[in-house]
C-alpha cells in the first residue's frame, strides 16, 4: 500500500520535471521551456488530479497574429515562472476543440482560455486590456501574465514568486 503511494508521488515529481506520456505535448513554436500536456483531455485530467488550473492556447500555423505571439510567449520569463502553477495546453490547427465552450465570442485566433482545477472552462478570465469583441485574444506577454495571476488568485493556488 505504501509503495503504491510512493510510486505515485515519484511519478508526480518526475512529471513536474520532464515530459511524461500525458505531458509529452509539442511546443508548436510556443517554447520548449514549458511543460506541455499531450492533449486537451490529458491536460484537464492532470489538472483535476493535481488541483491546478489549465491554460489553453488555440492557434494556427498559418496565422500572422499567432506567429507574432509565439516568440514573445516563448521568451517570457514571467509566463514561464507562472506556468509552473498551470497545466499548459497548446492546440494548433486541427486540434482546436469543437463547440462554443472554447470559442465563447468567436473562432478568431489566437485565443487563450483558462480551465478551472475542476475541469470547467472559466469564461470570466479575459484579456482586460484587449478588445471587448475578442475577449480571449492576447498579443502581449504582459496581458497573458496578468490573466494568469488572476486565475491563481481566483482559485487560491499557492503563492508564487514572480
pLDDT tens, residue by residue, 114-148: 999 999 999 999 999 999 999 999 999 999 999 99
pLDDT in the model for residue 47: 96
Task: Give 6-31 pLDDT, tens digit per residue.
Answer: 333 333 444 444 334 455 689 999 99
Q: pLDDT tens digit string along 27-73?
A: 999 999 999 999 999 999 999 999 999 999 999 999 999 999 999 99
Does a cis peptide bond (omega within 30 degrees of 0) precede residue 156? Answer: no
Half-sphere exposure of 7 (CA within 13 A, CB side): 4
Kindly report whether the global pTM for this prediction surpasses the value 0.95: no
Residue 161 forms part of a structural domain: no
> Do 63 and 94 touch, CB atoms closer than 8 A?
no
- Residue 103 belongs to some domain of the structure: yes
Number of domains in the chain: 1
Residue 97 lies in a domain: yes
Report yes or no on 62 lying in a domain. yes
Report yes or no on 71 lying in a domain: yes
- Does residue 162 belong to any structural domain of this protein? no
Classify residue 25: in a domain, yes or no.
Answer: yes
Q: Which of 87, 84, 82 is nearest to 42 (CA)?
A: 87
Cα 161 to chain centroid distance, Å, stands at 18
Q: What is the CATH number of the domain that holds 91?
A: 3.40.30.10
Query: Could you list the residue range(s) of the whole structural domain that residue 91 is in?
Result: 2-154
Amino acid at each position: 500500500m505504501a509503495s503504491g503511494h510512493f510510486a505515485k508521488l515519484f511519478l508526480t515529481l518526475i512529471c513536474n520535471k520532464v515530459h511524461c506520456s500525458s505531458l509529452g505535448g509539442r511546443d508548436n513554436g510556443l517554447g520548449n521551456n514549458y511543460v506541455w500536456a499531450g492533449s486537451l483531455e490529458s491536460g484537464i485530467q492532470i489538472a483535476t488530479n493535481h488541483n491546478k488550473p489549465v491554460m489553453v492556447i488555440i492557434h494556427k500555423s498559418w496565422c500572422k497574429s499567432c506567429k507574432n505571439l509565439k516568440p514573445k510567449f516563448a521568451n517570457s520569463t514571467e509566463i514561464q515562472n507562472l506556468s509552473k502553477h498551470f497545466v499548459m495546453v497548446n492546440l494548433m490547427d486541427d486540434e482546436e476543440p469543437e463547440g462554443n465552450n472554447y470559442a465563447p465570442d468567436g473562432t478568431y485566433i489566437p485565443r487563450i482560455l483558462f480551465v478551472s482545477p475542476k475541469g470547467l472552462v472559466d469564461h470570466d478570465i479575459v484579456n482586460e486590456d484587449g478588445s471587448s469583441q475578442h475577449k480571449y485574444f492576447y498579443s502581449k506577454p504582459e496581458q497573458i501574465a496578468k490573466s494568469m495571476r488572476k486565475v491563481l488568485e481566483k482559485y487560491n493556488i499557492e503563492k508564487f514568486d514572480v
